[in-house]
Structure 1
Amino acid sequence: MLELLKPQPADKIIALMGLYAADPRDGKIDLGVGVYKDANGKTPIMRAVKAAEARLHEAQTSKSYVGLLGDLSFVDAMRNLVLGTSVAADRVTGAQTPGGTGAIRQLAELVKLANPQATVWLSDPTWPNHPAILKHLDIPTQSYRYFDAATCEVNFDAMMEDLEQAQAGDVVLLHGCCHNPTGANLDLLQWRAVTDLVLRKGLIPFVDLAYQGFGDGLEDDVQGMRHLLGAVPQAMVAASCSKNFGLYRDRVGVALVIAPDEKTRDLAKGALSSLNRLNYSFPPDHGAALVSILMNDADLRADWQAELEEMRTGMLDLRTGLAEELRRATNSDRFDFVANHRGMFSRLGLPPEAVEKLRDEHAIYMVGDSRINIAGLPKDGLTRLAQAVAAVLS
């Protein structure tokens, strides 16, 4: 049987990690892996998470299962964080999932259960796992233009033109904030225009929210998304706790479904319970319990928000610094957009041969499409990076 398996394509980022690890050169820079790093190159455990973990250790008396939908106090806390007051609580159901990826997978399966004929529309480009998961589930997809490679900004007119081709009942997958891989985001007026289009055409929004708090702040990052979700009768949100809580390896996420009425909400709740049972029975509890403790304690929540703000402003400082160094090194404003983008990523717009030269000649590692992880930038290495970029472009 096993000999009938077909070779699977290698994950490009995982392959890049292997190349970086094997590189013996001093001063090598890893801008490929999509995890937050502090000034020392480490992915820290947040202070409030550490404190919540100590409390959990003292208070927990059992490792029994929690429930098919997971820790419902966690689900409620995430609903409040993500949606605020934009959607009435009695219209929302949710399930705890293993990370944001687990939430995307469960909601994609929900789409297939509800409407096997629905097409899911994806931004071009998008996170590679989006099309990979949908293809694996045999869900039809289409792309809408999103990023203008010439300006390195959102090509909004093209996006709206493409979405005009979507049919009633189709699903539109949107990045809630901090677009991955480009860092180029919709502004509030554009979110409002998308809302009008979705309502007029009868489309279902599916929002991937992986970076709340990493762009312009916890509330500002979701202002446009909340406007959309507050206006539509049905929607889905996959939210991750990997970045803003630093819980990468604990795999903490939530799948939220917004329904027009109680009957539809309960149908969605039953479907999520069934999907959880089929895929992993009960979601892992530890990380979700930490989030629940943290979010329901005023002091811990305040400390978490303060540290998250430090992380966010640190990334903004790196963006500004890199944009300034690139302007000096290239004697042009070609890369000024880096300072205006938000989140962990920006796509520099370099050709593949320049990316290869950066790796081979300068020990600077980035994904082949020139996506860089801003949080991976060493503050004392901005000048070197900028000069290397200028060198490979000359």
Structure 2
Amino acid sequence: MFKDHRAPAPDPILGVMQAFAEDARDGKIDLGVGVYRTADGRTPVMRAVKAAERTLLDTQETKGYVALSGDPAFHAAMRGLVLGGVIPSDRVAALATPGGTGAVRQAFELVRRVRPDATVWTPSPTWPNHLAILDGVGMRRRSYRHYDASSGGLDREGMQADLEGVAAGDLVLLHGCCHNPTGADLALEDWRDIALLLAERGAVPMVDLAYLGFSDGLEQDAVGLRLIAAALPEMLVAISGSKNFGLYRERVGLVLALCDGPKAAAAVRGTLAWLNRQSYAFPPDHGARVVTTILTDPALRTQWEEELTEMRERIDSMRRGLADALREASGSDRFGHLAGHRGMFSLLPATPEQVETLRREHALYMIGDGRINVAGLTPETLAPAARAIAAVLR
């Protein structure tokens, strides 16, 4: 069976992780892997998470199965966090999943089942796994322009022009905030324009919300998503708890399917539970219960929001510091747009050859397309990272 089997090409991010781990040089800098890090290089367990886990340890009396769709209390807590009450709960179907990746997969699987002829429109560029999952499930996809490399910002005109090709029943993928890999986000007027266009065309938005709270704050980061939710009859949201709760290895994810009425929501709820049954049956619960405990305990929620603010402010500080250091190292403002990006990522105008030169000659690691994780920087590494980037990206 396996004699002539050839494995798929390894994930480039995992390749960067391995190469960095094997590099014995002092002063190496990892801007590749997309996880939050403190100034001393740790991905910490949040204090609110530890407190919630202590509560669960003391009070939880069973590890029995919950439901195929996950814990209803988790659904309700996350629904409130993301939607803020703009949609009646009986119009929303929810599904707990193994991480945000599982949420993306199950959302695509839902669309494939109910509308197999749909085209999925993805921003260019986007998180590579969006495209890999779509190809894996055999869905038709097209891209629309999102990033303008010449300005380092949103390609607003290109995006609008490309989305004119959207047809009724198509799915349009949007990044809720902190666009991965570019850091160039939609402004509120862009969300309004997209809502009008999708309403006119009869298409459905799907928002990948992996970084809620990492851009401008929990409420501010959800404004565009809520605007679209209030304006359209249907919508999908794929949510991750990896970043804003620091629960990477606990695999906390959720799909929210906004439907045009309670009857449709009940049908979608049943289909989502069926999809879980067909893939991994019951979703993981520990991380989801940690999140529920935090969101429903006022003291823990306050502590979590304070920690999330600290994380966001550290990222913002490193982002501004990098822009300043690059201005000094390059003697120009050609990297000034980095200061205006949001979240952990930005996209440098680097070729794969330049990325390899940065690794080989400067021990500076990033993804091959030039994506950098700003959270991987520290006050001590800002200057050497900027000097290396300015030297190679002349």
Is the TM-score greater than 0.5? Answer: yes
User: CA 1:4 to 1:109, structure 2 compared with 1: closer, same or farther past 3 Å?
Assistant: farther
What displacement does 1:345 show?
0.3
Which residue in the other structure is 2:218 paired with?
218
| Paired letter, 1:32 | G
Give 1:111's aligned residue: 111
Give the equivalent residue in structure 2 for 1:25. 25
How far, CA to CA, are the matches of 1:393 and 1:162 in structure 2?
30
1:382 aligned partner: 382
Map of 1:129 onto structure 2: 129
Matched residues in 2 for 1:145 and 1:323: separation?
25
Deviation at 1:229, TM superposition (A): 1.2
Q: In structure 1, how many angstroms separate the alpha carbons of the residues matched to 2:276 and 2:310?
A: 35
Looking at structure 2, the residues matched to 200 and 131 of structure 1 have their Cα atoms a distance apart, in angstroms, of 26
Matched with 1:61 is 61
| Counterpart mapping for 1:146-161 below 5 A | 146-161=146-161
Does 173-182 or 342-351 show the bigger shift? 342-351
1:4 Cα deviation (Å)?
Answer: 4.9
Task: State the alpha-carbon separation in 1 of the partners of residues 300 and 112 from structure 2.
Answer: 39
Instruction: Tell me how far apart the structure 1 counterparts of residues 32 and 86 of structure 2 sit (CA, whole Å).
Output: 35
Q: 5+ residue gaps in structure 1?
A: none
SS of corresponding position for 2:67: coil
In 2: Cα distance, 1:81 partner to 1:293 partner: 13
Deviation per CA, 1:156-200: give whole Å up to 9, x if none: 110111111111100001000000000000100111001110101
1:206 partner SS: strand
Partner of 1:80: 80
Indicate the percent of aligned positions where both proteins have the same amino acid: 53
CA distance in 2, matches of 1:350, 1:298: 45
Tell me what 2:366 maps to.
Answer: 366
Partner-residue secondary structure (3-state), 1:367: coil
Counterpart of 1:362, as a letter, is: H
CA distance in 2, matches of 1:68, 1:92: 16
Structure 1 runs of 4+ aligned residues shifted over 3 Å read none
CA distance, structure 2, for counterparts of residue 236 and residue 255 of structure 1? 7
Give the whole-Å Cα distance in 2 for the aligned partners of 1:208 and 1:280.
Answer: 21
Aligned twin of 2:314: 314
Q: Cα deviation per residue 1:10-46 (whole Å; 9 max; x = unaligned)?
A: 1101011111111110000000000000111000000
Larger mean Cα displacement after TM superposition, 352-361 or 204-213: 352-361
Q: How far does residue 124 in structure 1 lie from its aligned partner after superposition?
A: 0.5
Corresponding residue for residue 253 of structure 1: 253
Matches within 5 A, 1:257-336: 257-336=257-336
Look up the SS of the partner of 1:27 in the other structure: coil
Alignment partner of 1:177 is 2:185? no
Shift in Å at residue 61 of structure 1? 1.0
Deviations 1:124-150 (A, max 9, x none): 100011010110100100000111111
Instruction: State the partner residue of 1:231.
Output: 231
**Which amino acid letter does the alignment assign opposite residue 33 of structure 1?**
V
Does residue 244 (structure 1) correspond to residue 258 (structure 2)? The answer is no
* Secondary structure in structure 2 of the residue aligned to 1:380: coil
Alignment of structure 1 residues 92-111 onto 2, 5 Å? 92-111=92-111
Distance in 2 separating the partners of 1:332 and 1:22: 35
SS at match of 1:214: coil
CA distance in 2, matches of 1:379, 1:43: 17
Task: Find the aligned partners of 1:3 and 1:170 in 2 and give their Cα distance.
Answer: 41
Output one character per residue of 1:100-145: Cα deviation in whole Å (capped at 9) or x when no partner.
Answer: 0011111110001100000100001000110101101001000001
Q: Distance in 1 between matches of 2:194 and 2:63?
A: 45
**C-alpha displacement at 1:353, in angstroms?**
2.3
Give the drift of 1:5. Answer: 3.2
Which residue pairs with 1:164 in the alignment? 164
Structure 2 residues without counterparts, runs of 5 or longer: none
Q: Which amino acid aligns with 2:139?
A: I
Q: Alpha-carbon deviation of 1:85?
A: 2.1
CA RMSD across the alignment: 0.9
Cα distance in 1 between the residues matched to 2:307 and 2:299: 12
Alignment of 1:326-365 (within 5 A): 326-365=326-365
Q: Which stretch shows the higher mean deviation, 352-361 or 334-343?
A: 352-361
Instruction: Return the offset for 1:301.
Output: 0.2
What amino acid is aligned across from residue 3 of structure 2 in structure 1?
E
